[in-house]
Amino acid sequence: MMRVTKRRMTGLVAMLLPLGLLVVAPSTTSGAASATTVNVVGYSVVSTAFSALEKAFEATPAGQGVTFTNSFGASTTQAESVVAGQPADVTLFSQQPDLDLLVSAGLVSGSWASYSAGAAEQNIMTDSVVALVVRRGNPLGITGWDSLTKKGVQIVTPDPISSGSARWNLLAAYESQLQQKQSAAKANTYLNKLIGNVVAEPPSGSKALATFTSGAGNVLLAYEADGDTAISTGQQVQVVEPKQNVLIQNPSALTTSGLAKPAAVAFYAYLFSVDGQTIWIHQHFRSTLPQFQKLQAQVFYTPPKLVTIKALGGWTNVTNKFFSPTGIVTKDEAAHGFTS
């Protein structure tokens, strides 16, 4: 049965304490990195997490004298800014096509996925799933994806032109129908009706959350991390965990300038370390380190049905089918007045 819950990290804290994972241990990188600035560019939802990660890294020997500049925003917009000249050493995007823009521009090696630092998914720094965020008490009785096309539902979700979060949301919505054995035609009709209930499309995931918590709409489609963060900061919301979902995989890479900076290389390794990934978990993101998988299964919900991009034929196939000029999402957005 669908669970509607106020998830908190109390249980995770209790389980991590015996493992000694709440204490940021010194980095295994030998020697302090030279005093330098590391330029971090990422999608909007990870802004708070990076504040915690950078502070923790600065307390390690490798982080002594290292400073950071940060730029966070809508994932595709951020990637386009880097291509246009935005300084970037460490990058983290919502979806792979955004990282591919940097590869095409010669700013990231085509073999970026070969560096995994022990992660189960090569160069995927964090995982997540889509959450349905509703007002406290769930006044509309939202139980899952099928509730979102009903009359009176007002959805807030980011703009799929600029936001990777938006693309994950709409992809998960469409795939939820196929996972329930509906035909492609019925899935198309469902997605069109869902987009017809959208009342706001802010440019990024974090701005969508701010729009929702300020009073717009009655359902927010968001990263699981955004929903949990809203709850932990006292917002009057709760999360509905749908039975069907997609595995959100967030790709990361060092740029050519980052590879030339010892401090950037050390920080990037820290992000994949046990210490770094522990912080990611406390920021409501799912670790990609194998040693955390059993623990996470006790804390994060496990959708009965979870589809991956690989199972859908890869990002090229997904982009062409949904987000190209003739794609399903593009047509549905235009039909309801959402245009670039």
pLDDT digits (tens, 9 = 90+) for 71-99: 999 999 999 999 999 999 999 999 999 99
Q: Is the pLDDT confidence value at 155 over 70? A: yes
pLDDT for 257-302, tens place per residue?
A: 999 999 999 999 999 999 999 999 999 999 999 999 998 988 899 9
Question: Which residues are 38's β-sheet partners?
Answer: 68
Q: Is the pLDDT confidence value at 51 over 90? A: yes
Which pLDDT belongs to residue 298? 87
Which pLDDT belongs to residue 117? 58
Q: Which of 107, 64, 113 lies closest to 84, judged by CA?
A: 107
Which pLDDT belongs to residue 16? 54
Q: What is the mean pLDDT of residues 170-185?
A: 98
Task: Evaluate whether 3-127+248-297 and 129-247+303-335 have a shared fold.
Answer: yes
Q: Is the pLDDT confidence value at 53 over 70? A: yes
Residue 248 phi, psi (nearest 5): -80, 120
Q: Is the pLDDT confidence value at 187 over 60? A: yes
Q: What is the mean pLDDT of residues 134-147?
A: 97
- 0.85 cut: is pTM over it? yes
- Band the pLDDT of 12: cuts 50, 70, 90: low
Range with the poorest average pLDDT among 2-16, 26-40, 158-172, 213-227? 2-16
The single-letter DSSP state of residue 323 is: I
Which pLDDT belongs to residue 85? 98
The CA angle 96-101-106, to the nearest 5 degrees, is 120
Instruction: State the alpha helices, DSSP H only, in the chain.
Output: 10-16, 47-58, 75-83, 96-104, 164-179, 184-196, 205-213, 224-232, 256-259, 262-272, 274-282, 293-297, 315-318, 328-335
Which pLDDT belongs to residue 279? 97
Q: Which of 315, 284, 259 lies closest to 129, judged by CA?
A: 284
Quickly tell me which residue has 């979060």 as its tokens.
165
Q: Is the pLDDT confidence value at 228 over 90? A: yes
- Domain 129-247+303-335 class, CATH top level: alpha beta
Which pLDDT belongs to residue 19? 42
- Band the pLDDT of 340: cuts 50, 70, 90: low
The single-letter DSSP state of residue 247 is: -
Q: Is the pLDDT confidence value at 18 over 70? A: no
Q: Is the pLDDT confidence value at 7 over 70? A: no
pLDDT for 251-262, tens place per residue?
A: 999 999 999 999
- Retrieve residue 244's tokens: 């069907």
Which pLDDT belongs to residue 31? 43
**Domain residue ranges in the chain:** 3-127+248-297, 129-247+303-335
Which pLDDT belongs to residue 45? 96
Which pLDDT belongs to residue 339? 76
Cα maximum dimension of the chain: 61
| Cβ count within 10 A of residue 48 | 15
**Side-chain-side CA neighbours of residue 127 (13 Å):** 23
| Residue 225: strand, helix, or coil | helix
| Residue 258: strand, helix, or coil | helix
Question: Which residues are 236's β-sheet partners?
Answer: none
Beta-sheet pairing, 305-307 with 66-73: unpaired
Cα torsion 106, 321, 151, 226: sign: negative
| Fold classified for 3-127+248-297 | D-Maltodextrin-Binding Protein; domain 2 (3.40.190)
